Amino acid sequence: MADISANFLGIKSPNPFWLASAPPTDKQTNVLRAFEAGWGGVVWKTLGSQVKNVSSRYSAVDYHGSRVMGFNNIELISDRPLDINLKEIKECIRLFPDRAMVVSLMADNNKESWHELIKKVEDTGAHGFELNFGCPHGMTERGMGAAVGQDPHIAKMVVEWVMEKATIPVITKLTPNVHSVVPTGRAVVEAGTNGLSLINTIQSVTGIDLDTLVPNPYVAGKSVFGGYCGPAVKPIALKFLTTISQNEVTRRVPVSGIGGVSTWKDAVEFMLRGASNVQVCTAVMKHGFRIIEDMCEGMNNWMDEKGYKTIYDFIGKSVNNITHWEDLDINYHHIAKINQDNCIHCGLCYIACEDTSHQAINLDYGNPYNNYSVKDDDCVGCNLCKLVCPVDNCITMEEKRVAPEYMNWIDFQKKGMPLNDH
Amino acid sequence: MIKSNRLTKEQYEKNFADIHPPFETKEATLVEANRCLFCYDAPCTKSCPTSIDIPKFIKQITTDNIKGSAHTIFQSNIMGAGCSKVCPVEKLCEGSCVYNFMEETPVTIARLQRYSTEKAIEKNWQLFKRKASTGKKVAIVGAGPAGLSCAHVLSREGIDVTIYEKESKAGGLMTYGIAAYKVTPEFCKSEVDYITGIGGIEIKYNHALGQNVSMEELQKNYDAVFLAMGVGLARKIGIPGEELEGVVDAIEYIYRLRTNEYNALPVGDKVAVIGMGMTAIDAATQAKRLGAKEVTMVYRRSEAEKSCTQHELDIARLDGCATIWLAAPKEIVGKDGKVTALVCDVMKLGEPDSLGKPAPVATGETITLDVDMVIKATGQKPFEELVNANNVQNKYGKITIDNNATNIKGVFAGGDCVNGGKEVVDAVQAGKDGAKAILKFILNVEG
Ligand SMILES: Cc1cc2nc3c(=O)[nH]c(=O)nc-3n(C[C@H](O)[C@H](O)[C@H](O)COP(=O)(O)OP(=O)(O)OC[C@H]3O[C@@H](n4cnc5c(N)ncnc54)[C@H](O)[C@@H]3O)c2cc1C
Ligand SMILES: Cc1cc2nc3c(=O)[nH]c(=O)nc-3n(C[C@H](O)[C@H](O)[C@H](O)COP(=O)(O)O)c2cc1C
C-alpha cells in the first residue's frame, strides 16, 4: 500500500483530498460528515462581512443524458453569523485533529478588517488561511473577490496586509476570470503568500429557459452571470495550473489544484501538473461525500501499480511535457489504424473524417454493415476518428515517423522544407 | 372439450396485456435514446424495409423535438406507430444495431419509435400537408397497411383516393390478424384515423372487389387502381379429418379473437397447432392465453428450418407451448364428428427442396397426439380466383408485378397479395412504391 498522506505547507492530512470552500464546508454538520466519510481536509466556506443570498442559486449544464457536466452558482460568501462559524470550526478541529482545517477569508477592503478577521480565526486553532480573490459575482461589486484577484496591485497589497498579521500558512486562491493567472500569481507570491490555489469559478451563463426566455438560475424573472465549475472546467483549470507550475516565480510555492476534480484520476492529473493536493466542490455537491472512498483507493492502487511510494514521487512529473508549439517535433507522425476485429461498423470515424477532416477513411459499402479502413497516405494523424470511435482500442494511432531525427519548426523553416503539404 | 369463458376477466386482461410495454417516463426514454450512437449510414436504417432514418428520429427525442421525431418516422412509414408494436425488430432494425457487436443489448428502437409516434397520434399532430387537389382519382382495393400507406402518399400529392374495403374496419391484418397482445382494436382505429386525417382519403367499407364493385368500374372511374387485398385464409392441408368439428383455420380463429370479447372465444383443452411460422406462433400463444391446458405445435421440418424468429418461438415456449419437430400431420381422427386426435408421420431430413431447405421425408413411423382442437397455420392462400377472374397475371394467386405495375394498364399492386405474406413493414413499403409508380403513371412525375 502506497502512502497517500499529504503535507501542504506543514498542514498535514491523511490524504491529499480537501473540500473546496463552498456549501459543503459551510457548517459543522457538513464538515463532520465529510471527515467521517474520510476527507483529508476542508477549506471552510469563505468568512467575511455579512451578506444576503437570493433564491434560486444554482444551475447546471447537462450533456447527452448526463447531469451536471457543468455547474454554476450565484451564491455569496458565508451568510451565517461569524461567531457561530468560529465556534463550529473550533469544534471540528477538536473532533478531528488529524484533518486539515483551512479557513477561507474575504474581509472588507481595508487592512483593519483583514487583521481583525485573521485574529479571530487564528483563535480557533485553524491550520491555515485561504484568501478568496476569486469569487466572480456579488462580492466583486463591492471591490472584493475577483475584483481583487483581477488586479495584481490590489492583490499584492491585500496579501501584504495579511502577511503582516498571519502566523499560520496563507494560501491565495486565484480567479480564472483573467486572460492569464500569472500576473496576479506573481504579485501575491512576491507579497509573501505561502501557497496558491486555483481555480475559483468562471463567469458564465449556463442556459436560457426557452419558455420564459430568462437565463438560469432564475430569480424573479432575471438572472446574473454565475460562477462555472464542475467537470466542464477541468481542462481550463489544468491549463491555468500549468502556467503557474511553469513560471519561475509562482512555481516556488505549493499549489492546491481546484476545478472539476471528480475522481482519483482527475486528482492525479492535477498533481502531475504540479498541484500538491486537490480540492473538490461540485463532485460532492452532486454525489455526496462518499466519493472519497474511491478517490483514495483508486489513487492508492494506481501508485502501487506505478511503484510510487508517496504522492511526492509523482507530483509535478508532467509539468515539463507541455512545451511551446515551436519546440514540437515536426518529424513525428502517426496514422490511424482501424482494428477490424473490434470495429462495430458504426461509421462515426468515417463521417467525421469525411465531412470535417481529411477524407482519409475508405468506405466499403455493405448491407447492412459497411467496412471502414484508413487511407494511410491521406491520414494526417489528427486523432479525430479515434476520439469519436465508441469502442476502446478499436482505432489506434500507429507511429510512422517522417524521419528519425528530431526537428522543430524553427529548423524546419531554416531548411526551407515544404509548407502546406496537406 | 372446446369451450369459451375459461378464465376470469382479470386473467384475460393479464394474458392479453401489451407484450411490448411503452416507456413509463420521459427520463427512461431519454436514457435509452442517449444510448444511440448516431451511426452513419446506419445498419438499422438499412435493415428497415421502409428505411426510417432511425438515428435521426432518436436524436430528435434527445433534443426534445418529438414532433420532428414523429415526422422523421412517418415520412418513411406512415404506420410507424403500428410497426413499433408489431415489427419483428429482432430480425430487422434492432437485430442489426451495432451494439450487438459489443454483446450489448441493442438500442430498443421500436420502443423509442413508439414513444414519438404515440405522442403524435394522441395529440393528433398532422405533420403532412396535402397538396392542392390535382383532380386525379385513384382506387385502392384493401385498407390494410399496403393500401393505407399508398393512400397517404397519394393524398399528400393531391390525389383523391377511394379505398374499397371488404370489412367494416380498416387496418387489414393489423386490425384482424395480428396477435391481440401486440395491438388493441382502439389503437388500430386511432392509427387509421390518424392516417386518413390528412384528408383526401375516403374508405368505402363493406365493399369487396368482385362482389360489390368490379374491376371494370374501378378502371372506368379512376385514373389508376392499386390492388392491396392481402392474402386469404390458410391453405387446406389435404388430410383426412379436416372437416371435423374442432379443426379451425388460424387466420379465421384470430379474426374471431380480434373481433370478440376474449371470453366469447371457445378453445380446447388440448390444442395442436400445425405449422411453425409467425401465424402458428400467434395461434399457439393465444390459444394458451385463452386458457387451453396444453398446446403443442407440430412442424414437419426441424428447428433449424423454422420460419418464425427465435424471439417468437421463445414467446411461445415461455407461454408453455410444446413443440414437436419432424412431425407431418397425416390424419385428424374424430369421434361423433369431433376431433379426438392428430396422427403425424415422423419425418427425417432429406435432400434440399426447391426452397433450399432440406425436404422432410417420412420414416414410416407415426405418433398420435390426443387433442380436441387442431389449428391449421400452414401459410395463407392468395386470392387466386379473384385475380384470375380479372385476368391479373399471377403465380399461384400471387400477383406478378413489374415496377409495381400489373399486366393490366393502370392497375398496380403491392403488399401481401404480391409477396404472399410478409410483414406489415413490407406492406407499407410496397404501398409507398406503388404510390410512386402510380404518380409517375398519372402525373408523369417522380413521387
Ligand atoms: C396471424 C398473423 C399474424 C401476423 N403478425 C404479424 C406481426 O406480428 N408483425 C408483422 O409485421 N406482420 C404480421 N403479420 C403479417 C401482416 O399482418 C401482413 O403482412 C400485412 O398486414 C399485409 O398488409 P396488406 O395490406 O398487404 O394486407 P392485409 O393486411 O391483409 O390487408 C388487406 C385488406 O384488403 C381487404 N380485402 C381483401 N380482399 C378484398 C376484396 N376482395 N375487396 C376489398 N377488400 C379486400 C382485407 O379485408 C384487408 O383489410 C401477421 C399476419 C398474420 C396472418
Ligand atoms: C455553490 C458554490 C459556492 C462557492 N462558494 C465559494 C466560496 O465561498 N469561496 C470560494 O473560495 N470558492 C467558492 N466556490 C468555488 C469552489 O470552491 C471551487 O473553487 C469551484 O467550485 C471549482 O471546483 P469544482 O469544479 O470542484 O466545483 C463555490 C462554488 C460553488 C459551486
Q: What is the pLDDT of residue A139?
A: 67
Q: Structurally, what CATH architecture does the domain formed by B137-232+382-443 represent?
A: 3-Layer(bba) Sandwich (3.50)
CB A391 within 8 A of CB A342: yes
Contact (CB<8Å) B101/A345: yes
Query: Which residues partner with B400 through β-bridges?
Result: none
Instruction: Report how far apart, in Å, the C-alpha atoms of B406 and of each of B141, B430, B444 are.
Output: 14, 13, 18
Residues of A annotated as part of the active site: 135
Taking the CA of A68 as reference, the closest ligand is 2
Whether A16 and A267 have beta carbons less than 8 Å apart is answered as yes
Domains B137-232+382-443 and B236-379 share a fold: yes
Point out the domain boundary residue: A264, A293, A321: A321
Mean pLDDT along residues B198-225: 97
Q: Are residues A191 and A291 in the same domain?
A: yes
- Residues in chain A with CB shorter than 8 Å from the CB of B23 are none
pLDDT tens profile A299-337: 999 999 999 999 999 999 999 999 999 999 999 999 999
Confirm whether A419 is domain-assigned: no
If asked whether residues A284 and A397 sit together in one domain, one would say no
CB distance B320 to B333 below 8 Å: no
Is the beta carbon of A230 within 6 A of some atom in ligand 2? yes
Q: Per the CB < 8 Å rule, is B46 touching A367?
A: yes
What per-residue confidence (pLDDT) applies to B378? 87
Instruction: Answer with the one of A304, A321, A338 that is the final residue of a domain.
Output: A321
Select from A21, A262, A269 the residue to mutate for testing ligand 2; criterion: most ligand atoms less than 8 Å from CB: A21
**For residues A18 and A318, what is the distance between their CA atoms, to the nearest angstrom?**
22
Of B31, B47, B102, the CB nearest to A368: B47
For residue B150, give the nearest of B417, B425, B410, B436 by alpha carbon. B436
Residue in A159, A29, A146, A15 with CA at minimum distance from that of residue A85: A29
pTM of the model: 0.93
Residue pair A273/A319 in contact (Cβ under 8 Å)? The answer is: yes
A65 touches chain B (CB under 8 A): yes
* Average pLDDT along chain B: 96
A346:B37 CB<8 A: yes
- Interface check for B38 against chain A (CB to CB < 8 A): the answer is yes
Assess whether A255 and A334 both reside in one domain. no
Q: What is the pLDDT of residues B379-423, one digit of tens each?
A: 889 999 999 999 999 999 999 999 999 999 999 999 999 999 999
CA A229 to ligand 2 center in whole angstroms: 7
A26 and A43: one domain? yes
Site to probe by mutation for ligand 2, drawn from A42, A174, A229, A238 as the one with most ligand atoms within 8 Å of Cβ, is A229
Spatial separation of the C-alpha atoms in residues B226 and B438, rounded to whole Å: 8
Average predicted confidence (pLDDT) for chain A = 96
- The last residue of one of the domains, among A296, A321, A346, is A321
- What CATH number did the domain enclosing A364 receive? 3.30.70.20
Testing the interface with B: which of A344, A354, A394 to mutate, by most B Cβ within 10 A? A344
Would residue A422 count as lying in a domain? no
For position A137, what pLDDT does the model report?
73
Residue A126 covered by a domain = yes
Residue owning the nearest CA to atom 38 of ligand 1: B229
B318-370 pLDDT, tens digit per residue, is 999 999 999 999 999 999 999 999 999 999 999 888 878 889 999 999 999 99
Residue numbers in A near B38 (CB within 8 A): 348
Residue type, B400: T
What's the CATH code, domain B236-379?
Answer: 3.50.50.60
Cβ-contact B395, B418 below 8 angstroms = no
| Cα–ligand 1 centroid distance for B68 (angstroms) | 29
Q: In chain B, what are the domain boundaries?
A: 21-122, 137-232+382-443, 236-379
3-state DSSP of chain A:
CCECCEEECCEEECCCEEECCCHHHCCHHHHHHHHHHCCCEEEEEEEECCCCCCCCCEEEEEECCEEEEEEEECCCCCCCCHHHHHHHHHHHHHHCCCCEEEEEEECCCCHHHHHHHHHHHHCCCCCEEEEECCCCCCCHHHCCCHHHHCCHHHHHHHHHHHHHHCCCCEEEECCCCCCCCHHHHHHHHHCCCCEEEECCCEEECCCECCCCCCECCCECCECCCEEEECHHHHHHHHHHHHHHHHCCCHHHCCEEEECCCCCHHHHHHHHHCCEEEEEECHHHHHHCHHHHHHHHHHHHHHHHHHCCCEHHHCCCCCHHHCCCHHHCCCCCCEEEEECCCCCCCCCHHHHHHHHHCCCCEEEECCCCCCEEEECCCCCCCCCHHHHHCCCCCCEEEEECCCCCCCCCHHHHHHCCCCCCCC
Q: Are A281 and A375 members of one domain? A: no
Mutate to test the pocket of ligand 2, among A281, A282, A289 (most ligand atoms within 8 A of CB): A281
Higher pLDDT, residue A66 or A297: A297
Q: Which domain holds residue A400?
A: 328-414
Give me the mean pLDDT over the B101-116 stretch: 97
Q: Are residues A230 and A311 in the same domain?
A: yes
- Nearest-CA distance B30 → chain A (Å): 7
Distance CA B305, CA A246 (A): 71
Residue-wise pLDDT tens digits, A104-135: 999 988 999 999 999 999 999 999 999 999 76
pLDDT band at B447 (very low <50, low <70, confident <90, very high): low
In this prediction, residue B144 has a pLDDT band, given cuts at 50, 70 and 90, of very high
Q: Identify residue A332 by its one-letter amino acid code.
A: Y
The verdict on A263 and A314 lying in the same domain is yes
Distances (CA, A) of B393 to A175, B198, B390, B417: 82, 33, 9, 12
Chain A residue closest in CA terms to B32: A65
pLDDT of residue B357: 83
Half-sphere exposure of B247 (CA within 13 A, CB side): 25
In angstroms, the separation between the Cα of residue A192 and the nearest Cα of chain B is 51
Asked whether the predicted pLDDT for residue A74 surpasses 90, the reply is yes
> Contact B40/A350, CB-based, under 8 Å?
yes
Q: Distance, CA A359 to ligand 1 centroid (Å)?
A: 47
Query: Do residue A347 and residue B44 have CB atoms under 8 angstroms apart?
Result: no
CA dist., res. B36 & res. B39, Å (int):
8
Q: Is residue A288 domain-resident?
A: yes
Any idea what the CATH number is for the domain that residue A75 is in? 3.20.20.70
Q: Residue A372 half-sphere exposure, CB side, CA atoms within 13 Å?
A: 29
- Residue B95 forms contact with A (CB below 8 Å): no
> Looking at residue B446, what is its pLDDT?
63
Q: pLDDT band for position B236 (50/70/90)?
A: confident
Q: What is the pLDDT of residues A239-256, one digit of tens each?
A: 999 999 999 999 999 999
Are residues A352 and A306 part of one domain? no
Chain A residues close to B41, C-beta within 8 Å: 347, 363, 370
Same domain, A401 and A296: no
**Architecture of the domain delimited by B21-122:** Orthogonal Bundle (1.10)
pLDDT of residue B234: 74
Q: Is the CB of A124 under 6 A from ligand 2?
A: no
Which residues of chain B does A369 touch, with a Cβ-Cβ cutoff of 8 Å?
43, 96
Q: Which of A62, A339, A345, A384 to mutate to test the interface with B (most CBs of B within 10 A)?
A: A345
Q: Are residues A181 and A278 in the same domain?
A: yes
For A327-381, how does the pLDDT look when each residue is reduced to its tens digit (9 = 90+)? 999 999 999 999 999 999 999 999 999 999 999 999 999 999 999 999 999 999 9
Can you give the pLDDT at residue A362? 98
Q: What residues of chain A lie within 8 A of the CB of B42, using their CB?
A: 346-347
Ligand nearest to the CA of A171: 2
How far off is chain A from B31, nearest CA to CA, in Å?
Answer: 6
Pick B41's closest partner by Cβ from A343, A347, A391.
A347
What ipTM goes with this model? 0.90
Contact B40 A368 (CB under 8 A): no
pLDDT in tens, B2-38: 999 999 999 999 999 999 999 999 999 999 999 999 9
Within 8 A by CB and 6+ apart from A64, the residues are B34, B62
CB contact under 8 A, B62 and A348: no
Number of domains in chain A: 2
Distance from CA of A348 to the nearest CA of B (A): 6
Quick check: B40 and A351 CB within 8 A?
yes
Q: Is residue A421 part of a domain?
A: no
Q: Which residues pair with A11 in a beta bridge?
A: A8
CA-A280 nearest atom, ligand 2:
26
Contacts of B33 in chain A (CB under 8 A): 65
A314 and A334 belong to one structural domain: no
Q: Is A23 on the interface with B (CB under 8 A)?
A: no
Spatial neighbors of A219 by CB under 8 A, at least 6 apart, are A54, A55, A56, A74
- A-chain CB neighbours of B94 within 8 Å are none
Whether chain B has a CB inside 8 Å of the CB on A392: the answer is no
Nearest-CA residue for ligand 2 atom 15 is A200
CB contact under 8 A, A348 and B44: no
Looking at the fold, whether A213 and A236 belong to one and the same domain comes out as yes
Residues A56-89 as b or e (16 or more Cβ within 10 Å = b): eebbbbeeeeeebebbbbbbbbbeeeeeebbebb
- With 0-12 CB in 10 A as exposed, 13-18 as middle and 19+ as buried, what is A29? exposed
